[in-house]
Amino acid sequence: MTTPALEVAAVSRRFGGLLAVDGVTFSIAQGGLSALIGPNGAGKTTLFNAITNLFPPTSGEVRFMGRSLTGLDARRIAGLGLIRTFQTARVFPGMTVLENALAGAHMHVGATALAQMFRLPGARAEERALRDKAGALLDLIGLSAFRDAAATDLPMGAQKNLEVVRALMANPRMLLLDEPAAGLNDSETADLAALLTAIRDIGVTIMVVEHNMSLVMGIADQVIVLDAGKLVAIGAPADIQADRRVIEAYVGLED
């Protein structure tokens, strides 16, 4: 059996008196597309932040490709190939769309700062290759017409897409996307679904936090349901839709 991409083992996160995430355990297979769902306040984003050590777990452990993430900072986690996006798009202001995309490739630029300054042939060739790659990805997501525009001038949905492109430029082994469909209309959501499936098909493991059920049920191969900080259910989309506990969590049915 291959190592799971991500293993979350008994992770809890406490904020003062509030146990926002309570002993959650699950794992995600390599190459899978998993969705983390749950009602508002279920602790989805907290769990996300605990995985990437933005707010580290108070107890429990997260392993990525078999390696413990305990004590690693955001940069080192990114260095392992685990790249995240943020709930509200955090494109870099004061930079163009293309530059934002290129910024994602930071870890894979081999040329030193000095080589870049002196415009050495190797550095220039590398820069050209990165620009081509970023251009192709922007084209794929429908942003190539705006490559020289200020990133912050894009509508929010397009900024979130740009953030996905920026994350892809980092050659991730696994992507953690925080509500990528928030603020998108139906046709944009369909485009996003196609993009996520395509990313999964090139071998990148994906986990999304998502509210949009049609997106989740359409593309995910595993759904993880969180309610009040606890894991309620985990399984294939069809099973989850039929799961009584999930319906309870969402609709609040009582016996």
Partner 1 sequence: MTGFFQIVIGGLLQGGVFAAVALGFSLVYRVTGVVNLSQGAFCVLGAMAMYYFQVAFGWPTPIAAAASVVSVVAFGLIVGATTFVPAVAKLPVSSTLVLTAGLLTFFEGVALIVWGNQPYALPPFSGEAPVSFGALRVPSQGLWLAGGIAAMILALWFLVYRTALGRALQACAENAMAARLMGIDTPRMMLLSFGLAAAIGASSGLLVAPITSLQFDSGGFFTTSGFIAVAIGGMGSFAGSIVGGLLLGVAEQLAAYYVSSLFANTLALLLLLAMLLWRPNGMFSSGPVRRVDVRSDAVVHRALIRLPDGRLVALGLGLLVVLGVLPVLPLPNGVLSSLTISMILFIAVLGLDVLMGWAGQVSLGQAGFMAIGGYTAAILATNYDWSPLAGVAAGMALSIACALALSLVTGQLRGHYLALATLTFGLLVDSLTVGLINVTGGPSGLVGIPSFSLGSFDFDTSARMYWLALGVAAVAVFILEGGMRSQFGRALQAVRTDQLAAAALGVNVGRVKLAALCISSALASLSGSLYAFNFHFLSPEMVATPRSFEMIAMLVLGGEGTLVGGLFGALVLTMLPTLVQGLALYKTAAEGALLVATFLYLPEGLFGRFAMLLSRVGRRAAPVKGAPAP
Can you tell me whether residue 32 is helix, strand or coil? Answer: coil
Which residues in the 194-253 window bind partner 1 by CB under 8 A? Answer: none
Among 19, 135, 146, 218, contact with partner 1 (rule: CB under 8 A): 146
| Minimum CB distance to partner 1 smaller for 119 or for 245 | 119
**Residue 247, CA atoms < 13 Å, CB-side half-sphere:** 9
Among 25, 67, 70, 118, contact with partner 1 (rule: CB under 8 A): 118
**Distance (Å, rounded) from C-alpha 252 to C-alpha 255?**
10
| DSSP string of 38-102, one letter each residue | -STTSSHHHHHHHHTTSS--SEEEEEETTEE-TT--HHHHHHTTEEE--SS--PPTTSBHHHHHH
Q: Strand 18-28's sheet: what is its strand order?
A: 18-28, 6-15, 59-64, 67-68
Which residues in the 60-89 window bind partner 1 by CB under 8 A? Answer: 73-75, 77-79, 83-84, 86
Residue 103 lies near partner 1 (rule: CB under 8 A): yes
Among 6, 21, 36, 105, contact with partner 1 (rule: CB under 8 A): 105
Q: Whole-number minimum distance, CB 176 to partner 1, in Å?
A: 10
**Residue 59, CA atoms < 13 Å, CB-side half-sphere:** 7
Among 59, 119, 194, 197, contact with partner 1 (rule: CB under 8 A): 119
**Distance (Å, rounded) from C-alpha 60 to C-alpha 13?**
9
Residue 111 lies near partner 1 (rule: CB under 8 A): yes
Per-residue mark of binding to partner 1, 149-168 (x: CB under 8 A): xx-xxxx--x-------xx-
Among 94, 121, 203, 252, contact with partner 1 (rule: CB under 8 A): 94
Residue 140 lies near partner 1 (rule: CB under 8 A): no
In the chain, how long is the greatest CA-to-CA distance?
72
Q: Whole-number minimum distance, CB 95 to partner 1, in Å?
A: 6
Tokens at 102, concatenated: 């290129």
| Minimum CB distance to partner 1 smaller for 7 or for 126 | 126
The full length of the chain comes to 255
Among 9, 19, 29, 54, contact with partner 1 (rule: CB under 8 A): 54
Tokens at 237, concatenated: 């989309």
Residue 128 lies near partner 1 (rule: CB under 8 A): no
Whether residue 212 contacts residue 157, with contact meaning beta carbons closer than 8 Å, is answered with: no
Q: Which residues bind partner 1 (CB under 8 A)?
A: 52, 54, 73-75, 77-79, 83-84, 86, 90, 92-96, 99, 102-107, 109, 111, 113, 116-119, 123, 127, 130, 142-143, 145-146, 148-150, 152-155, 158, 166-167, 170, 187-188, 191
